[in-house]
């Protein structure tokens, strides 16, 4: 047992292992920072190399802000069979980390003081649990999407031919339309997403607990169904600890243009860290933004992985559009600190691809959303946001990356006007912002859950 500083409370030692991509890394970093501020000794195991530059920069920022965190690198082994390399680079990296998981055994065993628990990303569940079991270390899974999505994740392996029905039925959960299920999961052939969903989803039952970056007031139904054993019997506790607040150190260079805009006048447009939009859709989107007459801050992405994104901004959107944008808008191609953008007083709305982190950040800052889900869990996320009354989802807008289905600028402009004119969305977002802060504030539901967890780690330290 180790003890902290001047009191004799035992200090738990927790190791954490994230997976690939900012959508998985960001919540891990927030959890690491939060545990460290709660006097937990943290070892952060960082897979090496990372897929994107954003990930490696985030690691550097975290470790320079919190020198007390121990860093251990997990050096990923190359795959002998690289046939799946053509699939999504982030899912490919999930697979690399999964296949390198055995390297964790000596690493975990060597840590001192001995670990109270390991917290792992959900995509690594099936390969890491056998290792922590052998070492007798409690294993917690951190699920980085909503509790509703968790219900699908843990039940997926039990579904019989889900593509054959219009709705996917999961006990305890409202039926999910088939079109909201990530398409790779409905394919007949195997693919990396289906493999990790099936194998890790099945193994979740054997973890010591499942942490979720969500909270009661937005995801209460699914949380209750999961914890009452309605979704799957014998599940460990599902512990809602979100929305994990952004940490101050995430701040970067401020965007001067925003400072010059009136309060709540700007529509912020971003499709997250790994979603590329087709050239044609980019141009229609730009046209729509200009036509809407609103001020806007637009982040354009041409490639899934940042280091491959080499096209000049002006070549991407064209000279004509570039000039029109300048009248009321700002367009960038580089990484902007989204947390900082959403917290800026000039930002009034968010056109989002509905990544779960983007959503929790918008809720945290009380910014109403125009929802344009693209991949993976994003339609399920969009539905959740629409239900709580802080977003508008036009369901027939297709995927922005699909060159065959392009939403025209005129329609984007009209929808934008409708959304930004909706006073109810704005009022409701302000309420939801308060609820989000209450959940993680002293005495709030997520605050209490995390506290209980840390206490339980202390008593076993």
Q: Which residues bind ligand UDP (CB under 6 A)?
A: 21-23, 26, 88, 91, 182-184, 270, 272-275, 299, 304, 335-339, 355-358, 361, 375-376, 399
Q: Which is nearer to ligand UDP, 346 or 369 (CB)?
A: 369
Q: Cα separations (Å) of 48 from 18, 63, 78, 305?
A: 11, 15, 11, 16
Q: Which is nearer to ligand UDP, 139 or 213 (CB)?
A: 213
Structure-block tokens of residue 244: 């994990």
Q: How far is the CB of 340 from ligand UDP (least distance, A)?
A: 8
What does the DSSP assignment read for 29-83?
HHHHHHHHHTT-EEEEEEEES-SSHHHHHHHHHHHHH-TTSEEEEEEPPPPS--G
C-alpha to C-alpha distance for 91 and 194, rounded to whole angstroms: 10
Q: Which is nearer to ligand UDP, 44 or 91 (CB)?
A: 91
C-alpha to C-alpha distance for 364 and 360, rounded to whole angstroms: 6
Buried b (16+ CB within 10 A) or exposed e, 19-34: bbbbbbbbbbbbbbbb
Active-site residue identified among 88, 121, 309, 383 = 121
Rg (CA), the chain: 22
Active-site residue identified among 24, 344, 365, 375 = 24
Q: Which is nearer to ligand UDP, 45 or 399 (CB)?
A: 399
Closest Cα partner for 22 from 58, 49, 47?
58
Q: How far is the CB of 12 from ligand UDP (least distance, A)?
A: 27
Q: Which is nearer to ligand UDP, 21 or 329 (CB)?
A: 21
Question: Quick one: DSSP state of residue 10?
Answer: B
Q: How far is the CB of 107 from ligand UDP (least distance, A)?
A: 27
Q: How far is the CB of 184 from ligand UDP (least distance, A)?
A: 5
Q: Which is nearer to ligand UDP, 217 or 358 (CB)?
A: 358
- E strands of 158-287, at which residues? 167-170, 173-177, 209-212, 238-240, 266-270
Counting every residue written for the chain, the total comes to 461
Q: How far is the CB of 358 from ligand UDP (least distance, A)?
A: 3
Burial of 277 (0-12, 13-18, 19+ CB in 10 A): buried
Q: How far is the CB of 138 from ligand UDP (least distance, A)?
A: 27
User: Is the separation of the CB atoms in 207 and 238 below 8 Å?
Assistant: no
Buried b (16+ CB within 10 A) or exposed e, 380-403: bbbbbbeebebbbbeeebebbeee
260 flagged as catalytic: no
Q: How far is the CB of 71 from ligand UDP (least distance, A)?
A: 21
287 flagged as catalytic: no
CA 266 to chain centre: 24
Q: Cα separations (Å) of 255 from 262, 274, 330, 344?
A: 14, 22, 10, 9
Q: Which is nearer to ligand UDP, 402 or 455 (CB)?
A: 402
Catalytic residues: 24, 121
């Amino acid at each position: 047992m180790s003890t902290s500083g001047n009191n004799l409370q035992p200090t738990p030692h927790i190791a954490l292992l994230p997976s690939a991509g900012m959508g998985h890394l960001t919540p891990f970093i927030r959890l690491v920072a939060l545990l460290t501020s709660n006097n937990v000794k943290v070892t952060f195991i960082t897979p090496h190399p990372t897929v994107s530059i954003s990930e490696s920069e985030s690691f550097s920022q975290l470790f320079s802000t919190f020198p007390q965190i121990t860093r251990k690198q997990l050096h990923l082994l190359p795959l002998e069979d690289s046939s799946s390399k053509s699939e999504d680079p982030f899912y490919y990296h999930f697979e690399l980390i999964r296949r390198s998981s055995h390297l964790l055994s000596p690493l975990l065993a060597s840590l001192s003081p001995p670990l109270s628990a390991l917290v792992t990303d959900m995509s690594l569940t099936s390969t890491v649990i056998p290792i922590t079991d052998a070492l007798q270390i409690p294993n917690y899974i951190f699920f980085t999407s909503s509790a509703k999505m968790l219900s699908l994740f843990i039940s997926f392996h039990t579904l019989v031919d889900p593509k054959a029905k219009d709705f996917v039925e999961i006990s305890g959960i409202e039926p999910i339309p088939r079109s909201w299920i990530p398409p790779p999961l409905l394919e007949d052939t195997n693919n990396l997403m289906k493999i990790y969903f099936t194998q890790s989803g099945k193994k979740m039952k054997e973890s010591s607990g499942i942490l979720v970056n969500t909270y009661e007031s937005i995801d209460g139904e699914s949380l209750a169904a999961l914890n009452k054993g309605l979704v799957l019997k014998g599940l460990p506790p599902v512990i809602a600890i979100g929305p994990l607040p952004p940490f101050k150190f995430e701040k970067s260079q401020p965007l001067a243009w925003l400072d010059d805009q009136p309060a709540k006048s700007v529509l912020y447009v971003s499709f997250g860290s790994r979603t590329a939009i087709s050239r044609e859709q980019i141009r229609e989107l730009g046209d729509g933004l200009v036509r809407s007459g609103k001020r806007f801050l637009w982040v354009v992405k041409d490639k899934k992985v940042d280091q491959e994104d080499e096209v000049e901004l002006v070549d991407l959107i064209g000279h004509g559009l570039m000039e029109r944008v300048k009248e009321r808008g700002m367009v960038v191609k580089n990484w902007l600190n989204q947390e900082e953008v959403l917290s800026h007083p000039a930002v009034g709305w968010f056109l989002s691809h509905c990544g779960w982190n983007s959503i929790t950040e918008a809720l945290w800052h009380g910014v109403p959303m125009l929802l344009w889900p693209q991949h993976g869990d994003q339609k399920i996320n969009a539905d959740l946001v629409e239900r709580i009354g802080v977003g508008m989802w036009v369901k027939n807008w297709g995927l922005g990356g699909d060159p065959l289905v392009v939403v025209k600028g005129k329609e984007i402009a009209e929808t934008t006007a409708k959304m930004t004119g909706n006073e109810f969305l704005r009022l409701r977002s302000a309420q939801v912002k308060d609820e989000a802060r209450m959940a993680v504030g002293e005495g709030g539901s997520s605050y209490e859950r995390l506290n209980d967890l840390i206490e339980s780690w202390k008593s076993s330290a």
